[in-house]
Amino acid sequence: MKCKKCSQTAVIHLPQHNVAYCEEHFNDYFLNRVQKAIRKYSMIEENERVLVAVSGGKDSVSLWHALVKLNYNCDALFLDTGLGTPKLEELDQLAKKVGSNFIIYDAHEDLMGLDIPKIAKILKRPTCSVCGNVRRYLMNKFAVENGYDVLATGHNLDDEVSFLLGNLLNWQTGYLARQSPTLPKTHEKFVKKIKPLVLLTEKETYAYALINDLPFSEEKCPFSKNASSLLYKRVLNEIEMAQPGTKLRFYAGAQEFFKEKEPVQLRECAVCGYPTTEEVCSFCKMRERLKNALGE
Amino acid sequence: MKCKKCSQTAVIHLPQHNVAYCEEHFNDYFLNRVQKAIRKYSMIEENERVLVAVSGGKDSVSLWHALVKLNYNCDALFLDTGLGTPKLEELDQLAKKVGSNFIIYDAHEDLMGLDIPKIAKILKRPTCSVCGNVRRYLMNKFAVENGYDVLATGHNLDDEVSFLLGNLLNWQTGYLARQSPTLPKTHEKFVKKIKPLVLLTEKETYAYALINDLPFSEEKCPFSKNASSLLYKRVLNEIEMAQPGTKLRFYAGAQEFFKEKEPVQLRECAVCGYPTTEEVCSFCKMRERLKNALGE
């Protein structure tokens, strides 16, 4: 197969767009798709400072690299919660090479010296739920305290459509409105959240990371991928194979359909002052329960 | 595995309800599910006369048999459009045995002597679309002219969830409101349409037909099952295997979510007087185009 742009031998075939590309033109395509998502879903305005949540996997590292290439003013943040073993040194070298910052934030103090699996065990809650709670809270807090306007995460199209399918099968539609590619800043302590990879598949972010020789970890979080999301990804891939473009249509249609009519009203947590929909935010509630469980 | 009711050896296992049944108690279960759908979705009122659209396949024959067993006042109608070869004589014997009527309606005159594949070819339209148009029109007309209040079709849970998934993947939500298990009578010439098998899977209607030794044809219509609906059924079965009960939840949730707010306004076709949303109904439009194509 030939590259659509230059007729050299293609390295990747994208049936959803009915094209194939060589390495160089795949890179162009990838950056265009990121840019397209940013424009389509009003993700980044001029002069905004972007913090990229980097776990060390292919998606977040590719996202960071792509945003730097697209000349956005962005730094990467790795939240060390005792889960995962990304290639920290190589990521730091990458930062120097591309002219960005790679920040490591040690969350152990915020977590009272415990790691996430330990907390989940003490509180008898699912690990992924504790991890999500902690990440959302600390990432937002770090962004606010350090003057970032936007927090970008590496969710790709496969993540989003598998989440969407799971929620539709069970009609948990409340979650869907909050799942949009851009969550606007609705409080001075709640930075804008964006997902610039939503128009790109797992296969594409993987290819981008390989082609650009990015230092990513192939290790999967032992907790993060539950059986359901893998099942949904598998069946969606099956449908995509037979009907290329289904994932993109499914995703775009859902965004249109579940457009949030009004932003959720936020107030300030009685304990930490960060925004929440309730009296006390879920991070502070978790810490409270943890203190009780530890008898402090 | 033992029958949940009598502890005899079970003949069927239903993971979605976490039960197994012997033949006798499966029959009870099946009739209960049909009755439940009829009550839940207000399908049949007392003294209403029901016409069952019988194609001769497992679903429609099982539906007819179940409605008779549940003491509904119902007859079966086979619309002969030159497609399919049901076991007509045996169905007629079944009618006599259970005390119902099996009516054969020859649609060739309404179709100007042509059969459906021929019409589809002349009009350059998909066979299933022509067939659906013809069936909806003639079945409703027959019901109206012969004093039936309700037209029942054999759509099962698998049919409905595969349709639902296909429409959600493409967000063709306009179709979904019209897909409800009960379409009320909204015009004197538009009888109520119901689908009493929506709480039962293909596997269950097949088992019911076998257990009750019903004369059904295993032959598939060479046109009716398009590749997409088979694909959707396959992936939904994959999900159901891993998460029993998903199909039922998916279906019930969708009914709740897409509840039709207001019935569509119908007016009378300028040609035949039967209800339509447009100036001329789609059946009359088809006949008109056919006449033109044939140079009459």
Q: In the numeric block, which tokens belong to residue A250?
A: 């499914």
Q: What is the pLDDT of residue B222?
A: 74
Confidence of residue A69 (pLDDT cuts 50, 70, 90): very high
Query: Structural domain tally of chain A?
Result: 1
Chain B interface mutation, best of A232, A235, A240, highest count of B Cβ atoms under 10 Å: A235
Over chain A, what is the mean pLDDT?
92
Q: Is there a domain that residue A143 lies in?
A: yes
Instruction: Please give, rounded to a whole number of angstroms, the shortest distance from the CA of A189 to a CA of chain B.
Output: 34
pLDDT for the residue numbered A263 = 65
In DSSP terms, B19 is beta-bridged to B14
Q: What is the pLDDT of residue B218?
A: 86
Confidence of residue B63 (pLDDT cuts 50, 70, 90): very high
**What pTM was computed for the model?**
0.90
Please tell me the distance from the alpha carbon of residue B211 to that of residue B27, in angstroms, as a whole number.
8
Chain B environment of A173 (Cβ under 8 Å): 257
SS (H, E, C) chain A: CECCCCCCECCEEECCCCEEECHHHHHHHHHHHHHHHHHHCCCCCCCCEEEEECCCCHHHHHHHHHHHHCCCEEEEEEEECCCCCCCHHHHHHHHHHHCCCEEEEECCCCCCCCCHHHHHHHHCCCHHHHHHHHHHHHHHHHHHHCCCCEEECCCCHHHHHHHHHHHHHCCCHHHHHCCCCEECCCECCECEEECCCCCCCHHHHHHHHHHCCCCCCCCCCCCCCCHHHHHHHHHHHHHHHHCCCHHHHHHHHHHHHCCCCCCCCCEECCCCCCEECCCCCHHHHHHHHHHHHHCC
Is the minimum CB–CB distance between B168 and chain A shorter than 8 Å?
yes
**Position B224 confidence tier, pLDDT thresholds 50, 70, 90:** low
Determine, for residues B171 and A250 on separate chains, whether the beta-carbon distance falls below 8 Å: yes
Q: Does residue B12 sit within a domain?
A: no
Indicate which CATH number applies to the domain containing A207: 3.40.50.620
d(CA A54, CA A61): 6
Paired sense of beta strands A19-21 and A12-14, if any: antiparallel
Say how far apart CA B72 and CA B132 lie, in whole Å.
Answer: 26
Give B248-258 pLDDT, tens digit per residue: 999 999 998 88
Three-point CA angle B131, B135, B141, nearest 5° = 150
ipTM of this complex prediction, to 2 decimal places: 0.87
Render pLDDT for A250-293 as a digit per residue (tens, 0 to 9): 999 999 888 766 667 789 999 999 999 899 999 999 999 988 98
CB atoms A250 and B169 under 8 Å: yes
Look at residue B9 and tell me if it is in a domain.
no
Question: Percentage of chain B surpassing pLDDT 90?
Answer: 74
> According to the model, what pLDDT value does residue B83 have?
74
C-alpha–C-alpha distance, residues A163 and A198, integer Å: 12
CB within 8 Å: A250 and B173 = no
How high is the pLDDT of residue A83? 74
Residue B258: what pLDDT? 83
Nearest to B253 among A171, A246, A257 (CB): A171
pLDDT at residue B178 tops 80: no
Domain that holds residue B242: 39-262
